[in-house]
């Protein structure tokens, strides 16, 4: 009888933890990933950086860089301005392989698909793995650490499709 009560208690605790994790993921989706995708796809650098902490560490590992918030904002403004001027469009999609969250911190790992659409409508897609650490700042989730890599161009569409959409 005692074993059944202990088992019931642990099942109850696990259900509560899973429910909270799902609530955090919905908050993160709404506060970080949806505006991240919208701003990326619309080439809006200010909105894009608004989902990032001012304490940001950004590392696009393929280029062996480490950027802070100001450097990343400047870089994004420049790149997005050039793309707009060239009539290019961007589209990013995110799929997740691991999502861990508590009420203060979160880690999301996954595969992104970025598509560049040229003026003539032709497009080219690339893939990579991202690792993002987030924290709640004044009740709002923000990206604190953002790193990604194509891992030597070994990340492919099958990796993207195997991961879970938002």
Cα separation, 137 vs 33, in Å, equals: 16
Query: How high is the pLDDT of residue 157?
Result: 97
112: buried, middle or exposed (CB in 10 Å: 19+, 13-18, 0-12)? buried
Which domains, and CATH codes, for the chain? 2-165 (3.10.450.50)
Cα separation, 156 vs 144, in Å, equals: 26
Q: What is the mean pLDDT of residues 17-42?
A: 85
Query: How high is the pLDDT of residue 2?
Result: 60
Position 97 pLDDT exceeds 70: yes
Tokens of 10: 């642990």
Query: How high is the pLDDT of residue 1?
Result: 63
> Which residue in 95, 77, 83, 70 sits closest to 157, CA to CA?
95
Sheet containing 89-101: order of strands: 52-60, 140-149, 123-137, 105-117, 89-101, 164-165
Categorize the per-residue pLDDT at 18 as very low, low, confident or very high, splitting at 50, 70 and 90: very low
Q: Which tens digits make up the pLDDT trace of 51-62?
A: 999 999 999 999
User: SS3 for 2?
Assistant: helix
Percent of the chain with pLDDT over 90: 86
Query: Where do we find the tokens 């304490």?
Result: 55
Query: How high is the pLDDT of residue 8?
Result: 44
Query: Where do we find the tokens 């642990």?
Result: 10
Is the CB of residue 145 less than 8 Å from the CB of residue 116? no
Query: Where do we find the tokens 């003539």?
Result: 120
Query: How high is the pLDDT of residue 33?
Result: 98
Q: What is the mean pLDDT of the chain?
A: 90
Percent of the chain with pLDDT over 70: 87
Q: Which tens digits make up the pLDDT trace of 117-126?
A: 999 999 999 9
Q: What is the mean pLDDT of residues 138-163?
A: 97
Backbone phi and psi for residue 51, each to the nearest 5 degrees, phi listed first? -90, 0
Q: Which tens digits make up the pLDDT trace of 64-87?
A: 999 999 999 999 999 999 999 999
């Amino acid at each position: 009888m005692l074993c059944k009560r202990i088992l019931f208690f642990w099942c109850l605790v696990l259900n509560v933890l899973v429910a909270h994790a799902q609530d955090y993921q919905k908050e993160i989706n709404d506060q970080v990933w949806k505006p991240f995708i919208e701003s990326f796809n619309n080439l809006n650098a200010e909105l894009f950086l608004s989902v990032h902490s001012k304490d940001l560490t950004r590392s696009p590992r393929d280029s062996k860089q480490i950027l802070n918030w100001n450097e990343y904002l400047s870089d994004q403004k420049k790149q997005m301005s050039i793309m707009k001027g060239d009539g290019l469009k961007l589209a990013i999609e995110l799929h997740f392989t691991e999502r861990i969250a508590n009420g203060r911190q979160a880690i999301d790992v996954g595969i992104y698909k970025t598509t560049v659409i040229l003026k003539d409508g032709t497009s080219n897609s690339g893939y990579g793995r991202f690792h993002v650490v987030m924290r709640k700042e004044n009740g709002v989730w923000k990206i604190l650490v953002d790193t990604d890599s194509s891992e030597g161009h070994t990340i492919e569409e099958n990796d993207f499709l195997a991961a879970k959409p938002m």
